[in-house]
Amino acid sequence: MVSCLEVRFDAMEGQTPGSQYLLEKPFPVATNSGLSSLGAIFILLKSALGAGLLNFPWAFHKAGGVAPTLLVELVSLVFLISGLVILAYATSVSGQTTYQGVVTGLCGPFMGKLCEVCFIVNLLMISVAFLRVIGDQLEKLCDFLLSSTPAALQPWYTDQRFTLTLLSVLVILPLSSPREIGFQKHTSLLGTLAACYLTLAVVVQYYLRPQHLIQEPRPELSPSWTSLFSVFPTICFGFQCHEAAVSIYSSMRHQGLWHWALVSVLSLLACCLIYSLTGVYGFLTFRAEVSTDILMSYPGDDVVIIVARVLFAVSIVTVYPIVLFLGRSVMQDFWRRCCHWVCTCGALADPMGLWVRIPLTILWVTVTLTMALFLPDLGKIISLIGGISSFFIFIFPGLCLICAIGIEPIRPRVKCGLEAWGVVSVLVGTFIFGQSTVEAVLELF
């Protein structure tokens, strides 16, 4: 990564930062190391394909049908893609390689500290939610394998507290330990295929329509502005890959703006297709009876769904390390500042070193595992997670765009248009955060 950045800064010497390099040289000189475009697409896609996939059929019901939800999804897609492109542009202008670093460099220390707090809280809650999803799938799998054994007589090693802890130690912790995010391109392909199987299973179950899935017709919600707005947090929760965008872009072999735009479009269009198919067919199968977790709507002895449970747990296992990597980067930045203050030398001064990276990784896994095992159901605060995600999808990219064009030589008309888009992005994100926060608080009480 360091060599890639050195090539970029050497190429930019004597030019205005960011604009000429990005716009005139969309495909800079490649190095032998770095993340390929295909690898970037899979990591970006897998960053978005998380637990939100289970909630989309319920979102279709909540919004009042297929057409309204697809309309909201398409409108959101414009902001989602533009946010990714803005972050790449802001990364080039600021010269930073982390999301919080970009916000601090362009928007100032106060916004940088706010970004770090939101970053940690959001990623921590997402990690806990992922572990809860994995634990639920493991519990259902154990219930199926021991269906003939009474619950009171089931072996101790089938308890979720043991199985989830064992999985975290033997699988999740090793996958989360590598130094660079580029390592995740290998597991991201596996996770993407696992998520695709869930979509395929939902579609196939709709057309096969076993007798036990046929539901009695019940009145459905009618579309309204309130119901449409309530879907935005679910979409934000489902498509949140922006936290990883800066790290992925900084690790890429080719870092041109147009090249990154193509990567972003392909990733989010593929993600949108998977989410939409799952949402549409899951909703059409169960209608008003659909659960917030689509897998909970199916019977526990269906072999196709059992395989889907296992593979989706695999999918979540592969995305957890990406979330941990991003959260660990914030803690590493804090560690770097602490070492600078106390003038510490040696191995402990390097936040990317083995003696710092591994303990931080163990700490993250331990905290999230403890919260997942002992906290109550997190389903009610998914909208709150989606609300916090609006900071990274709308608010911070909008602010970065406004600040970045303030130091760039851009034509007045273009500058005015970009500033207007930045303001719109901030306002939309603020509205979504406020609406989802109020809804989450009302649900909790």
Domains identified in the chain and CATH numbers: 32-377 (1.20.1740)
What pLDDT, on the 0 to 100 scale, is given for residue 129? Answer: 84
Q: According to the model, what pLDDT value does residue 275 have?
A: 93
Q: Are 192 and 46 in contact (CB under 8 A)?
A: yes
Ranges in the chain, pLDDT < 70: 1-33, 148-153, 181-188, 210-225, 340-353, 375-383, 440-445
Residue 234 near residue 52, CB atoms below 8 Å = yes
pLDDT at position 289 is: 82
φ, ψ of residue 240 in degrees (nearest 5): -75, 95
pLDDT at 182: 58
Residue with tokens 């689509």: 294
The model scores a pTM over 0.85? no
